[in-house]
Copies of this chain bind each other. A is one copy, B any other.
């Protein structure tokens, strides 16, 4: 066991203070954003509707989730372990969840205020760059808050709990990941149900443009951008940040002792500085493309981050593994060591690998989804032979790009492994450090991502208010296009952090199992032996791999289905409004925007429970039912299938979106042609892919990994042969399986009923009209 030296305590305290400083910076930036003009009364009125809808949704969501959090808090406390640490972990869970929720709320709160300000700025003559600035600064506030809260939470836990910090931090990461997953799923369903529903009735059936005020779903669509792309994304990135940091601290202690636990905090503190730098240097110069300015900010901050991390490594870490404080926690470390035999070199190179990975993903994602790249042009070209070939070619692009991105991430893991020279613990720590390196750019990434929904919303407000002239409208269209690209890039990077964090957590899981096994004292025999074996060739481990992959498929299917169903309900509602109020089409009547917002809120909160329960209970069922080896297989299957599925969904969606833009810009017949209709179908298919199912897989993977880490000791304790706990274990597995499976079945039954009701209502309405 390990106690922190005074030097380390001072450093951690400084890191915590840097976290507070980052929050102060966020506050200052926030004032700058809010100081901008709020535009015309029409703009303000629309923005107010969006603000109210978004706030109402998040409030209801948090009320629902609070109950869930309390239950998990109690369950966590019931797990075996030392009382004080257990309480600390449970409290840290609540804090992590609260931070995640706070970041999401803050992101949404500011975005719904920034959107109208961006629209107002763009409406002024020559206000394009000013608009871009406001949008990017808004993202900066969220980015700095993510970094600040992450550092504050992790730093405080280390200061208070010292050697027990890793265990307590598991709770912190779990809370952050669980909340983020719910916000991703709920927000993702909301935003895409509204978007798809609005498009199907508006663009396809009625032939009115996007964001037309006659469409009852437009306000819901704009609310969705904020609760999904903004609140959900911010919580997701905070969770990535927290979980990667947690994994790095746990593994750092195992591989490099005290200094290994402190160094990741230093890297992320550097990330805070780098984020601020990135936000401040990003200024659109003259007439240049907004994307160019953002990319410049990214690359500058990436390079500075690598350099500073190397400086920190050489200043703080010793030149030999033998000189590490507190000693390594593993047996093989001394025997094998790293290739360089210098912790400073290993740590600095690992951080560099992570930053490089971010850069490569940025490039690959751009290549496969950009409007000028070959794959997307190919998808656009297939629109000449109809919607079916558009869908097929987009799926092909998605599959292929997923393979390359996964390959690059795998290469990064291999690089860390090679650096570690065969020492598994050091390799895992270096992988976690690479994740921290990737996250030094998180401030800029969040800023980039928030840019998307804010400028999308700004365009919507401008369109609906009618108060923006052609120059301003063009400026906002440009900003929106930039936002599409930045959103796609962010997803790629978020997925990479998920894989690195999950791989590292996988190590924490093995650590937890081995400690527990050592505690139990023997490995037993027969079935029990198989339950504790990590040999991948055991058939039940393979069953675990299959079930892990299956969980990813089921989760994705549930998310896509939820959007399809909720969008269907919205289509029926908007059709009803058009039918019962013919004045809407002639601008004489105002559609009831609020009803669509209500439907979205109701449906997404209803649909959110099933995937959440599945993610939380599937690993419990596998672990208690089949053992720790199969649970490891389960996690591996979930990571392997998850990374491919997530990138496939994100990139095919991105390619379809931009193929549509290519056609809208005049290729293959342009707007209104059959080719355009074909790409609109592709884009609609891609909506739930890229904004609901795909991004929710990141937190899913991490939630399942953390659940596994948390239950590992209990599973091991109950796997002792001929123990009275045997039936308790089987019972727990059955209950968990019943909860996960029951949620899916219940969702199916409810869905069938909702389907029937909607159809009957529509038929009755039509029949009533016919009379």
A: residues with CB less than 8 A from B are 196, 200, 204, 335-336, 374, 378, 381-382, 385-389, 391-393, 395-396, 398-400, 402-403, 406-407, 409-410, 413-414, 416-418, 421-422, 424, 427-428, 431, 499, 503, 506-507, 509-510, 525-530, 534-543, 545-551, 553-554, 556-558, 560-561, 563-564, 567-568, 571, 626, 629, 632-633, 636-637, 639-641, 643-644, 648, 680-681, 684-685, 688, 752, 755, 759
Contact = CB atoms under 8 A, between A and B. Distances in A.
B550 A407 contact: yes
List the 3 shortest-distance A-B pairs measured between CB atoms, nearest first.
Answer: A399-B557, A388-B684, A510-B537
Contact of A554 (B399, B413, B527): B399
B685 A564 contact: no
Contact of A564 (B396, B558, B626): B396
A540 B636 CA distance: 11
Contacts of A413: 539-540, 542-543
B382 A626 contact: no
Most buried by B among A400, A537, A639: A537
B406 A539 contact: no
User: How many monomers of this chain does the complex have?
Assistant: 2
A80 B639 CA distance: 35
Contacts of A427: 539
Contacts of A550: 402-403, 406-407, 410, 644
Nearest to A626: B414
Given A413-B542, A503-B542, A553-B402, A389 B567 contact: yes
Nearest to A430: B539
A549 B399 contact: no
A139 to B, nearest CB: 30
A123 to B, nearest CB: 34
A547 B381 contact: no
Nearest to A391: B685
A759 B541 CA distance: 50
Contacts of A626: 414
B389 A633 contact: no
A552 B200 CA distance: 33
14 contacts: A391-B681, A396-B564, A398-B557, A400-B561, A403-B551, A403-B553, A422-B525, A503-B539, A503-B542, A509-B537, A510-B537, A534-B535, A546-B640, A636-B636
Contacts of A510: 537
A249 to B, nearest CB: 18
Contacts of A525: 335-336, 422
B546 A428 contact: no
Given A385-B571, A542-B636, A545-B545, 4 more contacts: A389-B564, A400-B557, A503-B539, A546-B639
Contacts of A568: 382, 385, 389
Contact of A637 (B507, B538, B545, B554): B545
A554 B681 contact: no
Nearest to A756: B381
A561 B526 contact: no
Contact of A539 (B399, B402, B417, B564): B417
A640 B509 CA distance: 21
A393 to B, nearest CB: 5
A747 to B, nearest CB: 11
B416 A539 contact: yes
A759 B381 contact: yes
A561 to B, nearest CB: 4
Nearest to A530: B422
Most buried by B among A427, A546, A551, A637: A546
A622 to B, nearest CB: 10
Given A550-B406, A571-B385, A685-B391, A536 B640 contact: no
Contacts of A417: 530, 539-540, 543
A549 B549 contact: yes
Nearest to A647: B553
A737 to B, nearest CB: 10
A549 B640 contact: yes
A33 to B, nearest CB: 36
A538 B424 contact: yes
A152 B564 CA distance: 52
A402 to B, nearest CB: 6
Contacts of A387: 387, 681
Given A392-B685, A407-B547, A685-B388, A506 B537 contact: yes
Given A422-B526, A641-B641, A564 B392 contact: yes
Contacts of A759: 381
B539 A536 contact: no
B386 A561 contact: no
Nearest to A418: B527
A720 to B, nearest CB: 14
Contacts of A534: 535-537
A558 to B, nearest CB: 8
A743 to B, nearest CB: 13
A14 B501 CA distance: 58
A510 B400 CA distance: 31
B388 A200 contact: yes
Contacts of A395: 557, 560
A542 B639 CA distance: 8
A564 to B, nearest CB: 5
A428 to B, nearest CB: 6
Nearest to A196: B388
Contacts of A539: 413, 416-417, 424, 427-428, 431, 503, 506-507
A156 to B, nearest CB: 30
A409 B643 CA distance: 24
A251 B400 CA distance: 36
Nearest to A677: B387
A648 B550 CA distance: 11
A391 B391 contact: yes
Contacts of A382: 564, 568
Contact of A527 (B421, B527, B684): B421
